[in-house]
Amino acid sequence: MEYSVKHFALALAAFYVTSKIFSSLLRSYKNRQFAKAHGCLPAPYAPSPYLGFGVWWQTIKAAKVSRHVEYIIARYENGITWQGKVAGSQSMATIDPENIKAILATSFKDFDLGPARRESFFPLLGDGIFTLDGAGWEHSRALLRPQFSREQVGDLESLEVHVQRLIDCIEKAGDVVDLQPLLFGLTLDSATEFLLGESVDSLLFTGEPAEIPGSFEDIKLKFGDAFNTSQQYVIFRTRMRSLRRFVNPKGFRDSNEICHKFIDHFVDLALHPEKKQKKVESQRQRYVFLDAIAQENKDPKYLRDQVLHVLLAGRDTTASLLGFTILLLAKHPKVLKKLREEIIDAFGTGKDGNGKAPTFATLKDVTYLRYVLNEVLRLYPPVPLNGRIANKNTVLPRGGGPDGLSPVFVPAGQRVDYSAKALHARKDLYGEDAMEFRPERWGEGRGKGWEFLPFNGGPRICLGQQYALTEASYTITRLLQMYDTIEPTETSLPHEIPFHTTLTMAPKEAKVKLHLAAN
């Protein structure tokens, strides 16, 4: 009997191995037939030492000194579209607008975010538009889309309060001020008011701890730092690939708990309006994102997840755009002068209350402001790196063969990366001065269609695009109504602005000198 069991086990193992080999050979045959039927030729192969583990390790090392974006972008020297290995897995990368269009739009259903994204993000964000595919994503997207209507995005009265607090902080800071943490405070305060109905008021924080540790007031004060800390762990989990499940230290868990408790407080109020403090009848009833989506779904965790996803987009992308804009204006006084003249012509100065606040409609008429923000987004897109996973055998329209014009086969399960930052630096698309800050190029027909992707494109295009652009336009306008000069400091003078990345990219600091306008 023992002899029979032994032989049966060996036979079963042999059958398993044989079936795996047969399945692999059959899959390879079908892949070759698919590629041939679509006229595909291979893309250039990038050096991938040690089965791509060398590339992976170099990326980890570069990330420790905030240089991984530059390292990854440098690999596009291998071609506009290329393939290789990363950590043992076959991968592909492209900065061809037609290929990116296929990934994000024309072949949208052939690509997913993939399970790795969800596993990395889930402990902080849960399920939402940045982690889900298929029907789950479609439901979240449909629920959130109406909340970013022009009527909601164009309500700038509450934003004015936060911008004036920002100006107060600048005035108290002295000769030199690091605007980046203040800009994160501004966007956090405005986003929490829009999303939750109550601002976290981080710009009013005096540095004193809450009287009762563990109270909601304590959690409220800690939320901003906790949100940053959690994101740093999330992006590290992403880089660790299949080892991500082992990245769950106490600091990550504690920060997630603070973030969740903060949002849960407002979710409870949205689900039980009777707990809210009654407002003065004369006070205008403001739109509150959470209250609106709570009308459609009563699940507390679902509501928390949706708010966290939108808060991530609403706070970080705008703070990134504002920080890079301030630094680039400081380094380019001619651009600053031209932009300020256009703003003053439209709205007057802000000194002594003479300037008028812009509206959603009048901001759109300041053409050069739009050029400036587009140029900042071109050089420093908030999300510089991105990618998708093929959920079936598919093709990219270009990149194969000696001339790079043949279709490229993408097998099911293969990741395809793309980089908005590398795309925006292509000299054949933006001119020989593509690496220079020159807003005037936007009056020359540059950046058409899929050549410009600061907010992605296709069905997953950023829902908060107009929200971010409106907030940035309004803030820059109000600052330049008050200040006529922005001087760089030694730390803001380097040609390439130092930045760090969590789930988005932002300046490490934005130290400048601002001078009040004489009139």
Q: What is the 3-state secondary structure (H, E, C) of 347-386?
A: HCCCHHHCCCCCCHHHHCCCHHHHHHHHHHHHHCCCCCCE
Q: What is the DSSP letter of 446?
A: -
* Residues 6 or more apart whose Cβ sits within 8 Å of residue 89: 52, 415
Structure tokens at 224: 């901003």
Instruction: Say how far apart CA 313 and CA 454 lie, in whole Å.
Output: 13
pLDDT at 495: 65
- What is the phi/psi pair of residue 168, to 5°? -60, -40
Tokens 């992976």 found at: 56
Looking at residue 11, its pLDDT comes to: 76
Question: Which of these, 370, 384, 461, lies nearest to 425 by C-alpha position?
Answer: 384
- Is the CB of residue 333 less than 8 Å from the CB of residue 487? no
Cα 12 → chain centroid: 49
Residues in the chain: 519
The token pair at 434 is: 């593509």
What's the rounded Cα separation, in Å, for the pair 302 and 68?
Answer: 33
**DSSP string for residues in 397-445:** EEEESTTS-EEEEE-TT-EEEE-HHHHTT-HHHH-TTTTS--GGGGGTT
Looking at residue 417, its pLDDT comes to 96
Which pLDDT score is estimated for 281? Answer: 45
Global pTM reads 0.91
pLDDT averaged per 10 residues, the chain (length 519): 66 75 78 94 91 90 88 91 91 96 97 94 94 91 80 82 94 91 94 90 82 84 92 92 91 96 94 72 66 90 94 89 96 96 91 74 93 97 94 97 96 95 96 95 91 94 89 96 90 70 88 85
CA distance 502 to 143: 27
The pLDDT assigned to 280 comes to 45
User: Which amino acid appears at position 315 of this protein?
Assistant: R
- Which helix (H) or strand (E) element contains residue 484? strand 483-488
| Collapsed DSSP state (helix, strand, coil) of residue 467 | helix
Report the Cα–Cα distance between both ends of the chain, in Å, rounded: 100
Quick one: pLDDT at residue 158?
A: 87
List the beta bridge partners of residue 217: none
Q: Which residues share a beta bridge with 486?
A: 514
Nearest in space to 69 (alpha carbons), one of 424, 375, 441, 442: 424
The token pair at 197 is 């109905």
